[in-house]
Amino acid sequence: MMMMLVSLVMTVIITIMMMMACTLISKTSKSDREKMSPFECGFDPKSSARTPFSIQFFLIAVLFLIFDIEIAIIIPIIITMKWSLTSTWMSTISMFIIILIGGLYHEWNNGVLEWAK
């Protein structure tokens, strides 16, 4: 029991010493306005958080995200091609691409891809 108590006390002491050493080492110099501001984010951190932003930019970003996820889904489908039946694989990948092209056509038809009006 005594050995366990000594181990616990030593662990706490070492932990506290390491935390104090990290605190002393990580002290930075003066806070500079340029160093404290976000790098190329496009928004001023000191202004209101309720400033409007372009909904077109948001829709293009969502479209990019959808097609980026598509690549992450297509790669495993290509790898599994040699273990599955060719007809099943072709029908699966065809339906996947048809749905994606249909979604792209729908967004194009609604004018989401037109940046300047």
Q: What angle do CA 93, 57, 114 make, to 5 degrees?
A: 75
Q: For the stretch 44-56, what's the b/e string if a residue is b when 16 or more beta carbons lie within 10 angstroms of its beta carbon?
A: eeeeeeeeeeeee
- The set of residues, in sequence order, having a beta carbon less than 8 Å from that of 51 and lying 6+ positions away, is 43
Each residue's pLDDT tens digit, 35-75: 666 665 655 556 666 667 777 777 788 888 887 888 888 88
More confident residue, 108 or 52: 108
pTM exceeding the 0.75 threshold for the entire prediction? no
